[in-house]
Amino acid sequence: MRDLFVILFILIFHTSLQAAQPFQTIGAKAHSMGGVSLLPADFWSVFNNQAGLASQTNWAFGFAYATDLNLSQELSLKSGAFILPTSSGSFGLTLNYYGYQAYNEQKIGLAYGKNLGEKIAVGIQLDYLSVFIGNDNGRANAFTFEIGILAKINESLTIASHLYNPYMVKIGSVNPESLPAILKFALAYNVDKDLLLLAEYEQNNLTRGIVKLGAEYHLIEHFFVRGGLSSNPNMLSFGLGFKVNGFNIDIGSNYHQTLGFSPKASMYYDLK
């Protein structure tokens, strides 16, 4: 009965829960800054903007955990990734798992990012998507891709764009569902060496656009504070970041005035 209730809940509220699917923003750092994910380029670019992989010069691996809108812990999103830099660009392998045994969604991605000169980088990722619904409904799957670009305008200003699933692939053999195409634009401005301001606009073919604003302040050595806000729905966000002996640890949360807090946590290790 519990499994049936959870599955019905997902199906009834599927549109409002799209942000919880495996193609959402990954990493507590981005969630802490209003959901701005395309910038800055860092480890989490392997999920959010593959062009940022071009700046990753060390082996690294990491994990992220997120819950949304005080839903059951069984409907959490768990993510993991590994980055392998080479002389011709950086490769990444990602895995997202949303749900539990009776209902789950998975996304496995193979990513690549490369610099095109000193100021521009590009990236691409091939994705395998899978949805499983219990009670004899079985599993459906599909393949798609995503592409990103990043341009450093000057020492202070960077811009980026990313397109996910441009052909709006369908998943399922009976009453197949079209998955959304998602387009994002972002900019990052370094006010000084300690303060970073960010803005991002996200649009998909199923919902209204989302405006995201965020900031990061390097408070003291190895310690960062972050905050942000986003629209549709209106949410505030906040979080902290730590760097210790190669470990980069981020915690944060979104806050919705009606539905409450959505905690996030993530960590990666840089193999320098």
* Separation between Cα atoms, residue 132 and residue 148, nearest integer Å: 29
* Separation between Cα atoms, residue 175 and residue 170, nearest integer Å: 10
* In the chain, domain spans: 2-271
What's the mean pLDDT in 22-44? 92
Among 41, 229, 230, which residue's Cα sits nearest to residue 152? 41
| Full 3-state SS string of 76-88 | CEEEEEEEEEECC
Pairing mode, strands 182-190 and 170-171: unpaired
What's the mean pLDDT in 141-154? 96
Q: 3-state DSSP call for residue 32?
A: helix
Instruction: Note the pLDDT tens digit of each residue in 215-267.
Output: 999 999 899 999 999 999 899 999 999 999 889 999 999 988 877 888 999 99
The CATH code for residues 2-271 is 2.40.160.60
Output DSSP code: residue 56: -
- Contact of 260 with 233, CB cutoff 8 Å: no
Radius of gyration of the chain (CA): 18
Instruction: Note the pLDDT tens digit of each residue in 92-138.
Output: 999 999 988 888 899 999 999 999 988 999 999 999 999 888 766 67
